[in-house]
Amino acid sequence: MTLAAALHVSHAASLAPPAPSPAAAQVVRVQPSASQVPANLLRLSIEFATRIEGPVLPRIALLHPDGQPLAQPFLEQELWSPSGRILTVLLHPGRVKTGLNAREALGPILVEGDDVTLTLDDRPIQHWRVGPVDTHGPVASAWRLSPVHAASRQPLVVTLDDPIDGRDADYLAVADWRGRRVNGRALLKDGESIWTFTPRSPWRAGEYRLVVRGTLEDPAGNRLNGRFETPTDMPAIAATDATLAFTSAP
């Protein structure tokens, strides 16, 4: 190669654009969305405005108030929705559940009284106060259902006993007296502690049932009929659906 050619190559290389950095991601919401999470929080989800390309785990962190990151808080697995817009991240189960090697070696991830901030590309996207450990799980019999009136599309409002997982809005459904699912829109509100359902067509006078899938979980992984924190030698409890009856009054 001649000196001129070498200089041309060197000059071209110096003008080459830098390696692209990950595109800025617009976050729609983070769940849990409440200001407080249990110390045994198991999962969180991040919803983006558009489909995200490439791994996101290396771009997120949990920080102490002094800006120091929590060591190894996440399981190295990205769980994406079919749309490619919602990422579910598990906090390392081996450090959430007591008595396991990872927890003994590294300690729990969150401690009651802590303040932590979730960041994406070094930008804060959610802040939580860490509350007590939650080992109870959802209790459907303790939920309160608002009245609804026939001939209206008034939302059914279900006040839950505790927040549920943000990805479980469709784990509750409304059935009519014949057992057929009622079409409508379900939403979780107020830190995932209130579930609302707006029917597509007006309510008819008569009986309905709120059906709750047995695999419904809270943010700590406690199911409707089971707990995440159970001895490893205890037989698994089969998931059982729950039903709550209500009436659409004239």
Average pLDDT of span 80-97: 91
Mean pLDDT of all residues in the chain? 87
CB contact burial 61-76 (16+ within 10 A = b; e otherwise): bbbeeeeeeeeebbbe
**pLDDT above 50 (res 75):** yes
Q: Please, which residues have CB within 8 angstroms of residue 244's CB and are 6 or more apart in sequence?
A: 140, 141, 143, 145, 209, 210, 212
182-235 pLDDT, tens digit each = 999 999 999 999 999 999 999 999 999 999 999 999 999 999 877 776 656 666
Tokens of 133: 């450990």
R_g of the chain, CA atoms, integer Å = 24
Contact 126, 225 (CB under 8 A): no
